[in-house]
Each structure stands twice: as C-alpha cells, then as structure tokens.
Amino acid sequence: MDPTTLLWLGLIMAAAGLVQAAIGFAAGMVAIPLMLWVGLPLPEAIGVMSSGVLVQTTVKTWRYRHEVPWKLVWPMSIARLGGYVPGFAALYWLSTEGTAVVKPVIGGFILVALGVQLGLRIEPREKIAGYWAWVAGFVSGLTAGAVGMGAPAVVLWLFAHDWPALRARVFLWANFLMLMPVAMIGLGLIYGGPAWRAMAWGFTLVPMVLMGTWAGLWLGHQLPRRQLRWAMVGVLVLLAVTSILGPLLS
C-alpha cells in the first residue's frame, strides 16, 4: 500500500471514529464510500474498517461492560450471524461487478437507510415484541455482510425503545463487537491474502481511530445532540449522492 493511500485511509478512519463516538453509529456509512473513492475494492475497504471497529468497540464495551443489556444482545447477535450468510453471497457478487456498480449501490443503500430512519415515526416504549430483535438482527447481518454497514436496522430497533443515550450506545457497541471477529474471519477465508492484508493495515491505523474517537466524544459534549445529528445526516447524504453520480459523470 503506497504512503498516499495509507494517509488517506488514516484520515478516513479518524473521521469514522469521530462519527461513531459522536452519534453512536455510522462508521461504516462514512468510511466505506470514501475508501472506494480512494481506490480500495469493496472487500478490502470492509477489511480495513472492520479492524478499527473491532478495537474501538472492544475498548468502549469493556469500559461500560456493567451497562450492557446482555439478555438483549445475545438474541440479536444470533440473528445477525444468520444474516451474514446471504450477506457474504451478495458481497461476492458486488465485488465481481466493479466500482461502477458498487459505488451507486453503496450510495443508494445509504440514502434508503437514512430515509427509513428519518421517515418512520416510531413511538419509543420500554419494551417491544421480542421477534423484532430477530428481524432487526437478521437484516443487520445481511447488510453488514454485503456492504459493511450493519447499523441502520439495529438503530431503527433502538429508536423504538425509550432508553437513555448511554444504554443505547453501549448496546450498539456490544452488539457489533460480538460478531466482528466472525465477520473478519469469514472475509479472510473468502478473499484470502488481500482481505487479511487489508485487516492488518486496519490495525496499524488504530491510533487514528482512537484520535477520532476522542474528538467525537468531545464534540458530542460540546454541541447540541440534535444539531450534531443533522450535521452528520448532511455529510452522509453528500457521500451517498457523490457515490451514485460519480461513476455516471466519469
């Protein structure tokens, strides 16, 4: 990997860590489109991002381990595992189609995910029917395996719960931590050397992820949460539109 590409990846991972720490999710929605623009194939982009997310979620889950609602994390993790199977099949198809297909698919997925999150008016409550955790988990595993973005379905499930912000974030961190090693091993077994090397480079960029994490935690305390959330939505929309239009314009 040439130094220029590595520098860009470090900046991208720092930005992903910042977003993840500030609003609790969307690291993949920021990192994957930008890594595709840098020139990484989709499986390698997912590999680089996975290493950073693994370290970040491990640190934060351990710090707040006594706050994790494990009885809810386990069912969703099992459902996510089932979703990875068709998700990896979709990833294999996307990776053979080239960036002219992958970039619009990623951009379209981001727009649809944001539209669903913003368009649904979900009334929060203390508990919802248990089967929704299995549905959300399966969809999350499917999208995580296919495009490296498993957060939207889980975030929608969280929107239905009247939980404090810390409990929601801890649930997200623990949920993604549980299956990240499984996803990384699966990626490596399917794509071999390039995927393993991408994950190794991702581990070398962990200091950048941690820098972004600290900045995101500070930013989250400084700005009103509503304004910060809308700012992040604007950034994601911009990334999605450029991903969709880029191949068409070129």
Going from N- to C-terminal start, the domains of the chain cover 3-249
The model carries a pTM of: 0.79
Q: Which residues contact 67 (CB under 8 A, 6 or more apart)?
A: 166, 167, 170
Mean pLDDT of 117-130: 76
Q: Which residues contact 50 (CB under 8 A, 6 or more apart)?
A: 148, 180, 183, 184, 187, 199, 202
User: What's the Rg (C-alpha) of the chain?
Assistant: 17
What tokens does 184 get?
A: 């990384």
How open is the CA angle 19-96-12, to the nearest 5 degrees?
20
Q: Is 190 exposed, middle or buried (0-12, 13-18, 19+ CB in 10 A)?
A: middle
Q: Is the pLDDT of residue 65 over 60?
A: yes
Per-residue pLDDT, 246: 67
Mean pLDDT of 74-85: 93
Mean pLDDT of 183-203: 92
Mean pLDDT of 95-121: 78
Sign of CA pseudo-dihedral 138, 216, 207, 99: positive
Q: Is 38 exposed, middle or buried (0-12, 13-18, 19+ CB in 10 A)?
A: middle
Three-class secondary structure of residue 2 per DSSP: coil
Q: What long-range pairs does 57-63 form, CB within 8 A, spacing at least 24?
A: 57/173, 57/174, 57/176, 57/177, 57/180, 58/177, 59/210, 60/169, 60/170, 60/173, 60/213, 61/170, 61/173, 61/174, 61/177
The confidence band for 47, taking pLDDT boundaries of 50, 70 and 90, is very high
- The more confident residue out of 59 and 100 is 59
Distance, CA of 6 to CA of 9 (rounded, Å): 5
The confidence band for 161, taking pLDDT boundaries of 50, 70 and 90, is confident
Asked if residue 198 lies in contact with residue 44, where contact means CB atoms within 8 angstroms, the answer is yes
Q: Which residues contact 248 (CB under 8 A, 6 or more apart)?
A: 104
Q: Is the pLDDT of residue 248 over 70?
A: no
